[in-house]
Structure 1
Amino acid sequence: MSKDQNGIPLNLVNLHSGEEQLREKALSIIDGDLRLRLHLAVVEAAMDLPDIFRQLDTRDEDLKVVQVLGMRTFNAFGASLKLTLSGYHQNSALILRDVLETVFLLNLFAGDRNLIGRWRHADKKARMKEFSPVEVRKALDARDGFNSKRRAEMYELFSELAGHPNMKSAWMMRPQKDGDAVIGPFMEATALEAVISEMGRLAVQLGEQIIAFFPTDWTPGLPSLVTFSQHKREWLSTFYPATRHENP
């Protein structure tokens, strides 16, 4: 087995080189598409919110839970973006499902902060009974009076396309809609746009949930809050111009 000077198998070195070439292609696609740049702008602004929120000095153990969950989403967005820019769109979407699940949990906590302590102290059996992904979605739909099960549909979409091995999951391994699945990374504008657009949608929702926990008198968080709000308004006016709903 051939290796480079650092002892890394050359096949892996060549794979990384190919990923970097795909990244350059992805950046070129993004540079020529205002909508993709807008998605990434709101993603960056949303990531900045948990980054600044983690710096809040607090002894409130419940708020510390929110800080950690926010940090989790920061890492997830960073990893998801790196993967899709390198041509691993299905794997990138799988990580976005984690963001979706965390956003739902934060949304539940924002509506009733007493639930944070219950979640924090629950054993596995109790946590799964009350805070499993499906139970969280049910609780949110009941709270908000939603009957469409839109949250469940979004979660199932991520699960089918990226989370579980099934025939539909092969769709995200095809550079062309009617073509064959391929092994390894690839870069194609439609696949890149699909992932980044979902990333932008999730970023808007995450930002709204993190801001809900900002202390009203906490001035260090104000610049990040204002920046996110500006990007959010631009994002909503571009992608949802005919609606005033807070959550896309």
Structure 2
Amino acid sequence: MSDIIPQNLASLHSAEEQMREKARSMIAADPRLQLHLAVTEAAMDLADTLRKFDTNDENLKVAQILGMRTFNAFAASIKLTLSGYHQNSALILRDVMETVFLLDLFAGDPTLIERWRFADKKARMKDFSPVKVREALDARDGFTSKKRFGMYELFSELAGHPNMKSSWMMRPQKDGDAVIGPFMEATALEAVISEMGRLAIQVGEKIDRFFPSNWDQGMPSRVAFAQQKKNWINTFYPTAARGP
């Protein structure tokens, strides 16, 4: 049985587990990273809870499936960054970003879900490609700064597409050489987990809008996310939390 996995891959896994233990120590010493992970777990729990709602509404099933997609993506992203693969973790977070933008669009106009469900490839690219979704959201919200595009472009350049900037996330030190395989470094770990927390806030907010208002079984998860969201905002955006 010991020959099933090549020795080099077994050694690589051992190194990944060492990175995970190092990451655990770094997170244990940083309450802010713990809070990002806590709100991510709360958003994942919302997605898991919503999927349990028994429904024949095909449009709601779409929201459930998209929520499940974010659950899986967050789980994979966490595993990768704790194992020392920060660039690959960030690439998966770009998928979370695309998914939450779609959830946001559908939450604002549920009639679009049915159009999306039955759209062929040409119609889907015309109306629901990532750029079309971002443009529709910006137009709906009256945003002109294109912050959604800026964040998408950042994820694409640093993690999504092979280019010179993407090598930055393969360097344990900013001005050092790129390395092969996993590594653990505070700046890289914090960058990924902090973006994860920001996306988790958005994911939780959008998934929450699809919960049936009279479904009591969903309330504990909704309340737990709301509390973690409040803690997160009070910590990272205290001025916004206090209001005008």
With the shorter chain as reference, the TM-score category is: over 0.9
Calculate percent identity across the aligned residue pairs: 74
- Corresponding residue for 2:177? 180
- Map 1:162-181 → 2, pairs under 5 A: 162-181=159-178
Q: Return the alpha-carbon distance in structure 2 between the equivalents of residues 209 and 134 of structure 1.
A: 19
Q: Return the alpha-carbon distance in structure 2 between the equivalents of residues 159 and 7 of structure 1.
A: 36
User: What is the CA distance between 1:245 and its match in structure 2?
Assistant: 10
1:33-84 CA deviation, whole Å, 9 max, x = no partner?
0000000000000000010000001000000011000000000000000000
> Which aligned runs of 4 or more in structure 1 are off by greater than 4 angstroms?
none
User: What is the CA distance between 1:5 and its match in structure 2?
Assistant: 1.6
Gap regions ≥5 residues in structure 2: none
Q: Return the alpha-carbon distance in structure 1 between the equivalents of residues 73 and 55 of structure 2.
A: 24
User: What is the CA distance between 1:149 and its match in structure 2?
Assistant: 0.2
Matched letter for residue 64 of structure 2: Q
Which of these residues, 220, 224, 228, is aligned with residue 225 of structure 2? 228
Q: Return the alpha-carbon distance in structure 2 between the equivalents of residues 164 and 56 of structure 1.
A: 38
Q: Does 1:214 align with 2:189?
A: no
Q: Contact 2:97 / 2:199 at 8 angstroms: preserved in 1?
A: yes
Matched letter for residue 151 of structure 2: M
Q: Return the alpha-carbon distance in structure 1 between the equivalents of residues 28 and 8 of structure 2.
A: 30
User: What is the CA distance between 1:127 and its match in structure 2?
Assistant: 0.2
User: What is the CA distance between 1:208 and its match in structure 2?
Assistant: 0.2
Q: Return the alpha-carbon distance in structure 1 between the equivalents of residues 4 and 113 of structure 2.
A: 47
- Map 1:3-14 → 2, pairs under 5 A: 5-14=2-11
Q: Return the alpha-carbon distance in structure 2 between the equivalents of residues 46 and 7 of structure 1.
A: 37
Gap regions ≥5 residues in structure 1: none
Matched letter for residue 223 of structure 1: P
- Corresponding residue for 1:113? 110
- Corresponding residue for 1:123? 120
- Corresponding residue for 2:56? 59
- TM-score, normalised via structure 2 length: 0.98
User: What is the CA distance between 1:7 and its match in structure 2?
Assistant: 2.1
- Map 1:6-25 → 2, pairs under 5 A: 6-25=3-22
Q: Return the alpha-carbon distance in structure 2 between the equivalents of residues 65 and 216 of structure 1.
A: 18
- Corresponding residue for 1:239? 236
Which of these residues, 111, 134, 137, is aligned with residue 137 of structure 1? 134
**Structure 2 SS opposite 1:78:** helix
Q: Return the alpha-carbon distance in structure 1 between the equivalents of residues 242 and 138 of structure 2.
A: 16
Q: Return the alpha-carbon distance in structure 2 between the equivalents of residues 152 and 5 of structure 1.
A: 48
- Corresponding residue for 2:152? 155
Name which of structure 1's ranges 237-246 and 137-146 shifts more when overlaid on structure 2. Answer: 237-246
User: What is the CA distance between 1:241 and its match in structure 2?
Assistant: 1.1
Q: Contact 2:234 / 2:241 at 8 angstroms: preserved in 1?
A: no
- TM-score, normalised via structure 1 length: 0.96
User: How has the CA–CA distance of structure 1 residues 147 and 244 changed in structure 2, closer, same or farther, with 3 Å as cutoff?
Assistant: farther
Q: Return the alpha-carbon distance in structure 2 between the equivalents of residues 142 and 122 of structure 1.
A: 22
User: What is the CA distance between 1:244 and its match in structure 2?
Assistant: 4.9
RMSD: 1.2
Matched letter for residue 188 of structure 2: A
Q: Return the alpha-carbon distance in structure 2 between the equivalents of residues 70 and 5 of structure 1.
A: 38
User: How has the CA–CA distance of structure 1 residues 20 and 220 changed in structure 2, closer, same or farther, with 3 Å as cutoff?
Assistant: same
The number of residue pairs the alignment matches comes to 243
User: What is the CA distance between 1:186 and its match in structure 2?
Assistant: 0.2
Q: Return the alpha-carbon distance in structure 2 between the equivalents of residues 245 and 202 of structure 1.
A: 22
1:188-216 CA deviation, whole Å, 9 max, x = no partner?
01100000000000000000000001111
